[in-house]
Structure 1
Amino acid sequence: MLILGKKRPLAQVCQALAASLLIVTSAFAPAVAQAQAGLPTLGDGSDLTSSEERRLGDRIIRELYRDPDYIDDPVIAEYVQGIWQPLIAAARSRGELSAELDERFAWEVLLGRDRTVNAFALPGGYLGLHLGLIGVVGTRDELASVLAHELSHVTQRHISRLLTQQSRQTPLLLGAMVLGALAASKNPGATQALVVGGQAVAMQNQLNFSRDMEREADRVGMGLMEPAGFAPEGFVGMFEKLQQANRINDNGSWPYLRSHPLTTQRMADMQSRLPSGGLTAGRASVLVAEHAMVSARARVLSNPGVDVLRQWIAEPQGTGFAALPLARKAGVLYAAALGSSQLRDGAAARRWAGQLQQLVKGDVAAARVAQLLVAELELAAGNAPAALAAMPAGDTRRPEILLRTQIVLRTGQPGLQEVTSPLQTWLATHPRDAGAWQALAGVWNAQNQPLRAVRAEAEAQVSRYDYAAAVDRFKAGQDLARRSTLADDHFEASIIDTRLRAMQLLLREQAAER
């Protein structure tokens, strides 16, 4: 678990999770005893089952989807998935990921719009990743090392083992306390703040992943790197960054410094595991233009402030820009273009984006990211026709589908049919993509098909595990269906009825867990 810098609400999940495992002080004792009376027990000394851990994770993740720091950025999310999925496959092939966990856990990565350098594992196969971390990692391999480390916490059942070691409370009660701590982080006056205050602070060191668990996550994670196509040297590069940050900011305020082995020790361990002779053959960890551009995007979208954006916008005009390597130049130009757009300077945004396109035109992956940026900038400037013209034709990857949908919705009816089919095809293979469901709802509304739009809105809520909101939307769909005279709505109404019954069952199960 990495925790670097000042925490904000989404970043406090790890601390909240740890604090929720405390033996609650006497002020909470009656409430805890009463709550435990109505909850199933796990048995002394036993680990959480995979199903119990998944339910705990689902309960936490529902709140994270509602958190204002949560962000679904298609470009960054796709890039992260391009690293995450090969690591999952490597864990599966090496036997680190059991068939049971593979099937029952979510294996989802949530992005947080937070400038702190942070990544964390949660129960049930969920991972949190801050834009601040993506913005500082120097290479794709360094980012892979972080994801491999956190993935290994999950595959090695560290969370389950930690919960078992620190508490005999049921997982559902723990989940309630986690959410209470999360709520308290947003409202310091809330009663639940006691969970993360007082004795919780004094005991925090006992509740983080143990040093042995951290070393195990390093070792197992490093073993995933080469089979997944990444340079193991990414681990060493990431540790070097942490070591430098520790020297600059070691003021006692970083939980990472108190609860993890010293970075120098972990780095030495990782260096000793590298093949003799240095870099892995053919896998040197280097900065490429695509990574530099995605990293720049993460920095801009983390809301660094106007002054910082202006510094980045001025950087391409600096005396040292010409001497930078191509990949670094690409990152600088990307940040200048997107930053200019954020400051409503469309002309400057177009100028920097044009230079970026010329710079990376020989790099297929980087050229695609630059082309998406050009379309995004035109849309932000209010020029939807130019944005549509900048989009590549026939590309059915998620960033292109969602951006094209935004553009078409801005222009009106022409083109709506062209985006409907790609969205439906995507959702057929990615049924839990809330962003795609929400985009499809907008398309159906624009085509004056409210019943289909309401069902898509409901499915978006299902994808975020908010079954209560989904039930509300499905019921709204039933009301619309009763008033409809369209023949096509009869089939849609039958789907809504079936889905409503399924969600009501899940909602009752959720209520029984409380």
Structure 2
Amino acid sequence: MPIPKRFFRRAPLRPLIQSLVVATTLGLVLTAPPSAAQVNLPSLGDSVSQDLDVVSERKFGDEIMAEVWADPAYVDDPLLQEYVEGIFRRLVASSRKLGNITDETVDHFAWQPFLVLDKSINAFALPGGFVGVHLGLIAMTGADDELASVMGHELSHVTQRHIARRIVGDSRNGLLATAGLIAAVLAAARGSPDAAQAAIMTSQAAAQAASLAFSRDMEREADRVGFQVMVGAGYSPSGMSSMFERMEQAFNLSDSGDYPYLRTHPLTSERIADARARIGAAPFARPTGTPEHAMLAARARVLMDPRAVPWRALQDLDRGTRDQAGDAPLLDQLAARYASALASIKLRDFDRSARAIDAAQTLLAQLPDSADRGGRGARDLVFLRAELAEARGDAAAGFAALQTLGADKSRPLLLERAALALVDRDPAPARAVAEDLQTFVALHDKDILAWAELARLWTRLGHTLRSVRAQAESSLAAGDLNGAIDRMRSALRMSSARDADQYEAAIIDARLRTLTYERRRLLKERYPNGVPGGGEPQ
């Protein structure tokens, strides 16, 4: 019989999943002011493990992420993804050292950040160790310390089992009773105040108040633990208060005391003071930015709003900084040139992009070597040159730029090599990159984009079976098991051709058997009394 589509297929977020996603949205959005005196609060997550075990929470997180990966708002920009993952790894290691991550959760949770194509200032934690970061958040930060303060807060929601606690609490109180509040938060986060107000009016006020009081304690703990994690990871203690002040200046919010959790960014003077109090007697100073962060924040600014009008405004940033070159800090000038160069690529104004990259290179050379940690900023500029060459269709220039980085085998550069090979008329680079990418996915089999690019390369080289199998593996990595099985079956049918690669056909046959078995296992787990309608899954 047909498999129930809603079990495996990608679909709009269901109300239950949508509610739980929003219920865990950024503490910077839904928080009440923390108290500096609450340093010795007990962990709120201690009592929840017996109610929702880590295996169940991870499975639930995987189901939500399958919806996220299918959403157009999900974005995998290799450079930004690598940057966010680097920060997150340090935070996870710090949290582990502090004892916040148990032996049980370290193995079962994903500990994986992902990017959201949205210009709002937001981040959020999901069940199972997934943390979403909006491009708008990256764009507004002035240093990695500030970004780490937000991610440390969200990581602490995971380590303190706040998400599991919220799920258990909602199931006890009746999830539908808080649906109005959750819808309001979702609408407010998406910039729809009218919809938010309407949702509030249709919800039950008593249930809202109980839910929000529950959330305030979690947010206080996430602030407290997140600060410890951030500092333990080597980031500046002033990163959190600096981020708060930056957001307060941007949004000029005030605290009326009435339902502060429904306002988009309740950053009060009290909360900033508490964040400063955690630093101690040391005078406050904003964290020092780096060339890498300045350029990647500019990159996020360009990518977060993919329309011609904002791109043109960003393209003109270099003109403004030239006019005030004597006054603007070098990092601000560098960021403006980078944004102008990338926006110009998007607008296909290639000559202007090249000039902006050259100007950025000159500015980078004016900074002391110690400012560019490990030459990361210089590397990111080389990557931008390769992207310009790709957009121009000049693969040779792109490969030449990447060759200056020597033995760099990082994911962003591997994927950029793949992109260049796809615009190169000579198939030789495609063969070399395909082999390297095949090795990469063997070690990183959950990489959706890498599998997709590998599929394109094999198509370019005329290896249809390999291409279709890579498409199937990409679908599987994105949580679309049905789609993966469909593609594998298609490949198996193709393998009956006389000239088919029989080695590849054997791999496809084995993978299809494995995936079909996995689907049957999941269906049995989901429907222990039999699939509705009877029959066996195919």
TM-score between the two structures when normalised by the length of structure 1: 0.81
The alpha-carbon deviation at position 310 of structure 1 amounts to 2.6
Residue 316 of structure 1 aligns with an amino acid whose one-letter code is D
The alpha-carbon deviation at position 125 of structure 1 amounts to 1.1
Of 83, 97, 101 in structure 2, the residue corresponding to residue 79 of structure 1 is 83
Deviates more, 1:242-251 or 1:419-428: 242-251
On the 8 A contact 1:115/1:304 being kept in 2, the answer is: no
* Corresponding position of 2:225: 220
* Corresponding position of 1:17: 20
Residue 396 of structure 1 aligns with an amino acid whose one-letter code is K
On the 8 A contact 2:88/2:151 being kept in 1, the answer is: yes
Of 133, 139, 151 in structure 2, the residue corresponding to residue 135 of structure 1 is 139
* Corresponding position of 2:269: 264
1:413-448 Cα distance to aligned partner (Å, 9 max, x none): 121222123212322332211111111111222222
* Corresponding position of 1:108: 112
On the 8 A contact 1:135/1:296 being kept in 2, the answer is: yes
* Corresponding position of 1:409: 422
1:268-300 Cα distance to aligned partner (Å, 9 max, x none): 2221121432469xxx72111110100000010
Question: Which SS does the other structure have where 1:129 is aligned?
Answer: strand
* Corresponding position of 1:5: none
Residue 156 of structure 1 aligns with an amino acid whose one-letter code is Q
On the 8 A contact 2:311/2:343 being kept in 1, the answer is: yes
Measured in 1, the distance between the counterparts of 2:416 and 2:148 equals 26
Residue 139 of structure 2 aligns with an amino acid whose one-letter code is G
Q: Residue 149 and residue 509 in structure 1: after superposition, are their counterparts in 2 closer, same or farther (change >3 A)?
A: farther
The alpha-carbon deviation at position 212 of structure 1 amounts to 1.7
The alpha-carbon deviation at position 203 of structure 1 amounts to 5.2
1:101-136 Cα distance to aligned partner (Å, 9 max, x none): 111111121211101001011111111110000000
On the 8 A contact 1:54/1:105 being kept in 2, the answer is: yes
* Corresponding position of 1:30: none
Q: Residue 88 and residue 19 in structure 1: after superposition, are their counterparts in 2 closer, same or farther (change >3 A)?
A: closer
* Corresponding position of 2:311: 309
Q: Residue 20 and residue 385 in structure 1: after superposition, are their counterparts in 2 closer, same or farther (change >3 A)?
A: same
Q: Residue 410 and residue 295 in structure 1: after superposition, are their counterparts in 2 closer, same or farther (change >3 A)?
A: same
Q: Residue 497 and residue 211 in structure 1: after superposition, are their counterparts in 2 closer, same or farther (change >3 A)?
A: closer
Question: Which SS does the other structure have where 1:47 is aligned?
Answer: coil
Q: Residue 470 and residue 202 in structure 1: after superposition, are their counterparts in 2 closer, same or farther (change >3 A)?
A: farther
On the 8 A contact 1:289/1:326 being kept in 2, the answer is: no
Unaligned runs of 5+ in 2: 1-11, 25-47, 193-197, 532-538
Q: Aligned ranges for residues 8-157 of structure 1 at < 5 Å?
A: 16-17=19-20, 47-157=51-161
The alpha-carbon deviation at position 352 of structure 1 amounts to 0.3
* Corresponding position of 2:248: 243
Measured in 2, the distance between the counterparts of 1:140 and 1:353 equals 23
Measured in 2, the distance between the counterparts of 1:136 and 1:251 equals 25
The alpha-carbon deviation at position 511 of structure 1 amounts to 5.1
Question: Which SS does the other structure have where 2:451 is aligned?
Answer: helix
Unaligned runs of 5+ in 1: 1-8, 22-43, 189-193
Matching of residue 437 in structure 1 with residue 456 in structure 2: no
Residue 520 of structure 2 aligns with an amino acid whose one-letter code is L
Matching of residue 352 in structure 1 with residue 366 in structure 2: no
Residue 304 of structure 2 aligns with an amino acid whose one-letter code is S
On the 8 A contact 1:242/1:263 being kept in 2, the answer is: no
The alpha-carbon deviation at position 248 of structure 1 amounts to 5.1
Of 484, 501, 511 in structure 2, the residue corresponding to residue 496 of structure 1 is 511
TM-score between the two structures when normalised by the length of structure 2: 0.78
Measured in 1, the distance between the counterparts of 2:106 and 2:70 equals 26
1:31-75 Cα distance to aligned partner (Å, 9 max, x none): xxxxxxxxxxxxx99632212212221121111111111100001
The alpha-carbon deviation at position 481 of structure 1 amounts to 2.4
On the 8 A contact 1:211/1:261 being kept in 2, the answer is: no
Q: Aligned ranges for residues 290-329 of structure 1 at < 5 Å?
A: 290-303=292-305, 305-318=307-320, 319-329=323-333
Measured in 1, the distance between the counterparts of 2:280 and 2:16 equals 37
* Corresponding position of 1:391: 402
Q: Residue 130 and residue 509 in structure 1: after superposition, are their counterparts in 2 closer, same or farther (change >3 A)?
A: farther
Measured in 1, the distance between the counterparts of 2:259 and 2:446 equals 35
Measured in 2, the distance between the counterparts of 1:196 and 1:65 equals 29
Deviates more, 1:347-356 or 1:493-502: 493-502
Question: Which SS does the other structure have where 1:117 is aligned?
Answer: coil
- What is the aligned residue count? 468
